[in-house]
Structure 1
């Protein structure tokens, strides 16, 4: 069975990207980017191997919108599971860039399928460190491709810029992005 089918099956059995993935000052050290590098974030905690993507997002106020979206889409259980994922996590500021009213519409129960599609478009079904990311396309859990590129020495995911990388979780890795990534037409 295809991984995205398994993932979607888990979503159906469990029910939920307000910007959920933020960095806790006590847990993370952010190296400010110079003009030729991308900002790097590493979580330094003895609990990191036991902390899921969901737990990290919940512990950081910069990801409160993402957490709310995960909850509305019923994705909490999946993001706390033992699978390995890469999540390109929009911050609260990224969600604020959406057209007025779009987030509120997505969070309505009748639009759950759209929300699940959008959120799973931000996830890849394997853990990929920033050092292993190469320009090109990568297939998301949702099933469509993301375009990875480097522009002005910064990693881009479609039109979003990666702000922080390599936040390690027990079930994968988080890369923080400055925009909600809207699925490209294919």
Structure 2
């Protein structure tokens, strides 16, 4: 009889103390288990709406540049390129990579993340070094007359605002 009580006590101890603590320890979240937010580069690559911009970005060698830093990217989608009579990325990728880089850099405000609710009328300097003019008509902001048609696409390293035409300057 004494053996049975001992076995039962050990089994009860195991069920009450060891098993729950094993479950708790094994359920801890690891860094590699956490889903990380996508960078600006990844958002552009994964969205068909940016297929022309993706090709230009790759040609310019800016994949890594758009993965780091805090950026505000006024990104033209395929229809914005169409308004400029650019229906294929080959029009721009046939130019030197430096020209493509200048085009993309004229759409980026670096070192700051500006959400749509934080936009203010005025001038901002792009990575390229030129100034863009932010204006507001009714409730719509425009960047050098390019309306923001889809604001606040959040990325790990900044924010993307889709615009309806290219920023020319």
**Please, what TM-score do these two structures have when normalized by structure 1?**
0.67
> Which residue of the partner structure matches residue 61 of structure 1?
48
Q: Deviations over 1:31-78 (max 9, x none)?
A: xxxxxxxxxxxxxxx95x521001111111101111111001110111
Counterpart pick for 1:173 among 159, 162, 167: 159
1:143 Cα deviation from its structure 2 partner: 0.4
Q: Deviations over 1:116-164 (max 9, x none)?
A: 1111010001111111110000000010011000123211000100001
Runs (4 or more) in structure 1 with deviation over 4 Å come to: 100-103
Q: Which has the higher helix share?
A: 2
| Structural RMSD (CA) | 1.8
Structure with larger Rg: 2
Q: Is the 8 A contact 1:165 1:175 kept in 2?
A: yes
Q: Deviations over 1:8-32 (max 9, x none)?
A: xxxxxxxxxxxxxxxxxxxxxxxxx
Counterpart pick for 2:58 among 63, 68, 71: 71
1:111 Cα deviation from its structure 2 partner: 2.3
1:101 Cα deviation from its structure 2 partner: 7.9
Question: SS at the partner of 2:41?
Answer: helix
Q: What runs of 5+ residues in structure 2 fail to find an aligned partner?
A: 1-33
* Larger RCO (CA within 8 A; separation ≥ 6): 1
The separation in 2 between residues aligned to 1:103 and 1:159, in whole angstroms, is 23
Q: Is the 8 A contact 1:89 1:176 kept in 2?
A: yes
Matches within 5 A, 1:134-149: 134-149=120-135
**Please, what TM-score do these two structures have when normalized by structure 2?**
0.74
Size of the aligned set, in residue pairs, is 135
Q: What runs of 5+ residues in structure 1 fail to find an aligned partner?
A: 1-45
